[in-house]
Amino acid sequence: MNGWTQTMSAGPLLSIAAVAVLSLLVLIIRFKMHAFLALMLVSLLTALATQIPIDAIVPTLVNSFGGTLGAVALLVGLGAMLGKLVEHSGGAKALSDKMIEVFGEKRAPFALGIASLLMGFPIFFDAGLIVMLPIIFAVSRRLGGPILLYAMPAAAAFSVMHVFLPPHPGPVSASELYNANLGLLLLTGVIIAFPLWWISGYMWGKVVAKRHPFPLSKGLFGDISDDEVTNPPSVGVVISMLMLPLVLIFMNTGLNSLRSIGAVDSDQLWFQLLSALGNTPIALLISTLVAMLVLGRRQGMEGNALEKVLDSSLGPICSVVLITGAGGMFGGVLRASGIGDALSSSLSDIGLPIILAAYVIAVIMRLAQGSATVALVTAAGLMAPAVIGGDFTSMQVVAITLATAAGSVFAGHVNDSGFWLVGRLLGMDVKTTLKTWTVQQALESVVGFIFAYIIFMMF
C-alpha cells in the first residue's frame, strides 16, 4: 500500500469497525457460521468498506493472517506436543495429585493461579498458558469441577504478568517512551500483581465457574487414554520439564531488559546466541525434544509409537490455530485501514488529566483494532511529550506507565487473536468467551487503572 493514504475520518472508520464487529458476532452466534469463515468474510468486507486499495486487499489479509499464524502455530503446535508428552507419560496426573495433596482440593484453583503468576514472570502469556494447560486439565479431571474454576485464575495470572511487569515487551516499551525507571516499575508491578490477580482472576474465576459450569473438553491434546500408567515420571522430573522453557525464555527476556538499560552489548556473539536459544519457539522446541527423551523413552515409546503420540496432539489444535490466525487477520485489516492514525490525531488533545488520558486512549485503541501492543505503544507515543515535559515524580511516571498498560488490555474481543486463542483452548464458544474472558480483561484493566491512579495520587 505504498503511497496510499486513508482519507476517511475517525468517525466513519469507527462506525465501520463497530458494524464489522457486530456482523461477526451475528454470523457466528445467530447464524452459526464457522468462526474461521466468518472472520475471513468480515475481514474482506471491512477492507473494501475502509477503501483499502483493491490490489492491496489480498496481501493485507494474507500478511496479517501469516503474521499472527507464524507465532501462534509454532507456540500452540509445540506446546500441544509438550503437553501431550507430559499428559501421556502420567506426569500431569502425578503433578496434579501432588498439588492437591499439598494444597488441598479447595485451594487447587488458588495454587494453580500462584504457580502461573510465578511462571508468568519470564514467559509470555500465550506460551505460559500452553505450557500450563496439561496441569490445569489434569487437576480438573482429578477433581471433576468446572474447567473455568481452574483455568481462569491461571490464564488471568499470565495476563497480569504479561501486561504489567517487565521484562515483558509492553511495559518495557512504555517505560522507554515515558523515561520511566524500569527497576521502580518492576518493583511496583510486583506489589500490585497479586491483589490485581486475586480480584480479576481468582475471584472472577469463582464467579464464572458458577455461571458456566461446563466440564473439561477432552479433545485438546488428543484422546485421553484410560490405560493405567505403570511407570509415571516423578514430580521433580515433571517440574523440570515445565521449568526448562521458562529458564530458556528468561534468558531472552532478561537479556533484552539488560540491553534496554545499556547493561550489555547486544552486538556480542554470546548475547545473540543466548537470546536465540531463549526465543519462545526455540525454547519450546528444545523443551519438546528433551521431553521426547525423558518422558517418551521412560514409557518405552520409540519410533512409530512416539511419533503417533505426538501426531495425536496436532489434530485437535488445527481449529485453534486457524481461527486465531483469522482473528489476527481481522485486527490487521483494521490497523491497515488507518483507524489507529485517525484515532491518534483526534485523541491527542482531549483535555483530560494525563494519567486518565493515557488510559482512555489505550482503551479506545484496544477496542478499535484489537492489538494490546499497538494500543500501548500508540497511547504511550501520544502521551510521551506531555509526560516527559510534565513535573512528575518518578513514581507518578511509573503510575502513568501502569495506567497505559491497563488500558491496553481492556475487554479483548473478536478483533484480538488472544480472544480466540483462550476461547478455543478452553473449549468455549464465542458467546461464552465474551461473557468470561472479555469481562475478565475489562475487570483486570479497570482494577489495574485504579491501583495506578492510587499510586499516582499518593506519590
pLDDT of 222 above 60: no
Cα–Cα distance measured from residue 120 to residue 131, given in angstroms and rounded to the nearest whole number: 11
pLDDT of 226 above 50: no
Nearest C-alpha neighbor of 455 from the set 405, 384, 386 = 405
Residue 436 is assigned to a structural domain of this protein = no
Residue 246 is assigned to a structural domain of this protein = yes
pLDDT of 171 above 50: yes
Nearest C-alpha neighbor of 342 from the set 5, 1, 2 = 5
Residue 418 is assigned to a structural domain of this protein = no
Which has more pLDDT, 352 or 452?
Answer: 452
* Count of the separate structural domains present in the chain: 1
pLDDT-derived band at 108 (thresholds 50, 70, 90) equals: very high
What is the domain range of residue 256?
68-177+230-318
Give the up-direction half-sphere exposure of residue 447: CA atoms within 13 A in the CB hemisphere: 22
* Range among 160-164, 307-311, 374-378 rated most confident: 160-164
Nearest C-alpha neighbor of 191 from the set 405, 402, 442, 411 = 402
Q: What is the pLDDT of residues 206-219, one digit of tens each?
A: 999 999 999 887 65
pLDDT of 141 above 70: yes
Cα–Cα distance measured from residue 250 to residue 314, given in angstroms and rounded to the nearest whole number: 27
Percent of the chain with pLDDT over 70: 94
Residue 434 is assigned to a structural domain of this protein = no
Quote the longest CA-to-CA distance of the chain: 67
Residue 252 is assigned to a structural domain of this protein = yes
Q: Which amino acid is at 278?
A: G
Cα–Cα distance measured from residue 394 to residue 274, given in angstroms and rounded to the nearest whole number: 32
Residue 21 is assigned to a structural domain of this protein = no
Residue 375 is assigned to a structural domain of this protein = no
Residue 118 is assigned to a structural domain of this protein = yes
Query: C-alpha grid cell for residue 358?
Result: 493515557
Which has more pLDDT, 177 or 151?
Answer: 151
pLDDT-derived band at 446 (thresholds 50, 70, 90) equals: very high
Residue linked to cell 506507565: 401
Burial class (CB in 10 A: 0-12, 13-18, 19+), 300: exposed
The model's pTM: 0.85
Average pLDDT, integer, range 406-410: 95
Q: What is the pLDDT of residues 7-20, one digit of tens each?
A: 888 788 888 988 99
Burial class (CB in 10 A: 0-12, 13-18, 19+), 66: middle
Cα–Cα distance measured from residue 344 to residue 196, given in angstroms and rounded to the nearest whole number: 29
Query: C-alpha grid cell for residue 415?
Result: 478483533
Check residue 346 and give its pLDDT.
Answer: 67
Check residue 196 and give its pLDDT.
Answer: 97
Q: How far apart are the first and last CA of the chain?
A: 47
Nearest C-alpha neighbor of 242 from the set 384, 94, 351, 50 = 94
Whole-number average pLDDT of the chain: 87
Check residue 54 and give its pLDDT.
Answer: 92
